[in-house]
Structure 1
């Protein structure tokens, strides 16, 4: 599976490839902001799929885009449900990450860190982005 933009940037950084690092970040951001469904809207559902890794079983999380109650004109992700069987809180990492103002998007962190291949985005009951692993 293709790596997330952040993973690609870290790989380039380890190789001391500044151009590759910047290219990964800029490319990921351009892929997000260039999507026909961008920006996210209140009510959008985002499913993140994690494949098994070591002793951690694969699981899924579903987030909803909501208005951020603490920041006017900002949105955030709210964890709706997850399939993790762990009891140590190993889920919900993208919940509560506010977007600061109308130019940012709460989906940006999940897009860059988990990667678009692990995301499925539903708007008004229609899938507008289907990742390969979702």
Structure 2
């Protein structure tokens, strides 16, 4: 399912109130003041996306969550011959990643991927650690642990597919293939991205 275009339009309209502002660093504040007083009585502040979701909910009901990774949504649109539908999830996924306040990845970041149960395969997770690929200006991402059960032969080739020794952006592949909704990214002991909470 693609992200609702109406929510995207509302969000971009709010983000565009300040021309040239970086959306990831933009906040919105709504204040109530009485004409006879300069003091603020009540106030709300939040992100442009938060305000867009409030407006969207008032107009159309709660937005449905985005399902599937950007790559899976683009592949689904390919079957219908919808060129805009193919490009939109990829462009949105790129923008969502590259404008995140915690982007780019840094050495020491932990990246956890949650995989839902499919068929007879139980749900499991993989945790990777981002490291410095010394001397090249690149980053590595190595499998730290996984919770897949089974024999070594059954597990071989099923985990660690996002490991890389040197990459200019180790998060890019996992963001587009597994999907941001499956990722939890931890930096300095704090979760900076919790995909399951979306």
Pairwise same-fold verdict (TM > 0.5): yes
Is 1:15 equivalent to 2:80 in the alignment?
Answer: yes
Which of the residues 103, 109, 113 maps onto 1:38? 103
Could you list the runs of 5+ residues in structure 2 that have no partner in the other structure? 1-64
Question: Which secondary structure state, in structure 2, belongs to the residue aligned with residue 19 of structure 1?
Answer: helix
**Cα distance, 1:68 vs structure 2:** 2.5
Which of the residues 166, 169, 174 maps onto 1:110? 174
Is 1:57 equivalent to 2:122 in the alignment?
Answer: yes
- Deviation by residue 1:83-108 (Cα, 9 ceiling, x = unmatched): 011333111110116323xxxx1011
Question: Which secondary structure state, in structure 1, belongs to the residue aligned with residue 170 of structure 2?
Answer: coil
Contact 1:119 1:130 in 2 (8 A): yes
Residue aligning to 1:73: 137
Ranked by relative contact order (alpha carbons within 8 Å, sequence separation 6 or more), the top structure is: 1
State the distance in 2 between where 1:23 and 1:79 align.
Answer: 31
**Cα distance, 1:67 vs structure 2:** 1.7
TM-score, scaled to structure 1? 0.89
State the distance in 1 between where 2:75 and 2:93 align.
Answer: 13
Residue aligning to 1:5: 70
C-alpha RMSD over aligned residues? 1.6
**Cα distance, 1:19 vs structure 2:** 1.2
Point out 4+ residue stretches in structure 1 off by more than 3 angstroms: none
TM-score, scaled to structure 2? 0.61
Q: 1:97 to 1:28 in 2, by over 3 A?
A: farther
Could you list the runs of 5+ residues in structure 1 that have no partner in the other structure? none
Aligned length: 128
Is 1:99 equivalent to 2:99 in the alignment?
Answer: no
Question: Which secondary structure state, in structure 1, belongs to the residue aligned with residue 119 of structure 2?
Answer: coil
Residue aligning to 2:148: 84
Contact 1:97 1:106 in 2 (8 A): no
Whose Rg is larger?
2
Flag the structure with higher helix content.
Answer: 2
